[in-house]
Amino acid sequence: MGRAEANGALYFGHGTDNAIDESIRLVLGSLNLPQDTPDRLLQGQLLMAERRCLIEQFRLRIEARIPLPYLTHESLFAGLPFYVDERVLIPRSPIAELIEQQFYPWVEPGNINSILEIGTGSGCIAIACSQEFPLATVDAVDLSAEALAVATLNVDRFGVAEQVRLIQSDLFAAVSNRRYGLIVTNPPYVDQQDLQAMPAEYHAEPRMGLEAGSDGLDLVVQILLEAPTYLEENGVLVVEVGNSEVALEQIFPQLPWNWVDFERGGHGVFVIDHDTLVSHQPLFHQEQERRRAGAV
């Protein structure tokens, strides 16, 4: 995810992995300058107001441990610049690599006419999908009205309001009677142990976007159980579970898991098709009941 400085004071995991790159991005972003600003401009003198702005930005980054993208209000995902603030998680999913590859070899791009993203947050996955699948409709759901407000800003930024529909929904609740060729989700999946061990920078993010029960799999199990109802017969489900990958395999050792190998780093993303989901429904039901009974 990133790395910490040797003294543990700062953690870099939201777009950079070192203090120099972080500082450059913070300065340029705070001054509304592009990241490829010509070197000659770096010799310019700053106004006093600009100096005060930078001092405050570095104070917030170092002392308050606020992540860089919350200070510059921008985060790159799949090569696209998204607006972000404290209402949403900062985009960093390795699913970006899958989107850029049009989910090859898991789907035939020409056969994808409808996409659902669960837990859209800033809207980055849904909007990136709209760029790679321009003929597909994209529904993007989130339980948080605040997150959807941020997603709306990004939908407007990219001019995709006619293609990307934002829906307030608890998972599939508000998309009944619809089926999709592709369902993508990066749901909350952090278990209690990992949540407590996270650096301070991650605690600046919305907690509801991270935690999902003692083992991080409460929502994932529900998605596995309900997804076949909303998938087309030839559709696939793509889910990120991060470090909860191990726990998921232990719960469902019978499943033929397809874990994605990423060239640019990242792990814990699996792809599963409609028929496999249907054939394992009894297992998902059993696990859901076990959780409702408080056995996890």
**DSSP notation for 88-146:** SPPP--THHHHHHTTTTTTS-GGG--EEEEES-TTSHHHHHHHHH-TTSEEEEEES-HH
Q: Is the pLDDT of residue 7 over 50?
A: no
Q: Is the pLDDT of residue 55 over 50?
A: yes
Going by C-alpha positions, the residue among 255, 245, 254 that lies closest to residue 220 is: 245
Q: Are residues 169 and 51 in the same domain?
A: no
Q: Are residues 35 and 182 in the same domain?
A: no
Residue that is last in its domain, among 17, 44, 72: 72
Which band of pLDDT confidence, cut at 50, 70 and 90, is reported for residue 177?
confident
Residue that is last in its domain, among 20, 52, 72: 72
Q: Are residues 121 and 261 in the same domain?
A: yes
Which band of pLDDT confidence, cut at 50, 70 and 90, is reported for residue 2?
low
- For the stretch 118-158, pLDDT in tens is 999 999 999 999 999 999 999 999 999 999 999 999 999 99
Q: Is the pLDDT of residue 165 over 80?
A: yes
Q: Are residues 140 and 281 in the same domain?
A: yes
Q: Which two tokens stand for residue 280?
A: 């394992």
Q: Are residues 30 and 90 in the same domain?
A: no
CA quadruple 235, 238, 152, 147: dihedral positive or negative?
Answer: positive
Q: Are residues 87 and 234 in the same domain?
A: yes
Which residue would you say has higher pLDDT here, 215 or 275?
A: 275
Q: Is the pLDDT of residue 85 over 80?
A: yes
Mean pLDDT calculated for residue range 98-114: 95
User: Tokens 């994932």 sit at which residue?
Assistant: 220
Strands (E), the chain: 3-4, 11-12, 75-77, 80-82, 114-118, 137-142, 164-168, 180-185, 231-240, 269-273
Which band of pLDDT confidence, cut at 50, 70 and 90, is reported for residue 215?
confident
Q: How many CB atoms lie within 10 A of CB 34?
A: 9
Residue type, 59: R
Residue 112: domain span = 75-292
Q: How far is residue 24 from each of residues 67, 73, 279, measured CA to CA in Å?
A: 14, 15, 51
Q: Are residues 41 and 138 in the same domain?
A: no
Degrees to nearest 5, angle at CA 248 with 289 and 67? 110
Whole-number Å distance between alpha carbons of 225 and 220: 9
238 three-state secondary structure: strand
pLDDT of residue 5: 46
Which band of pLDDT confidence, cut at 50, 70 and 90, is reported for residue 252?
very high
Share of the chain above pLDDT 90, in %: 73
What CATH number should be reported for the domain holding residue 273? 3.40.50.150
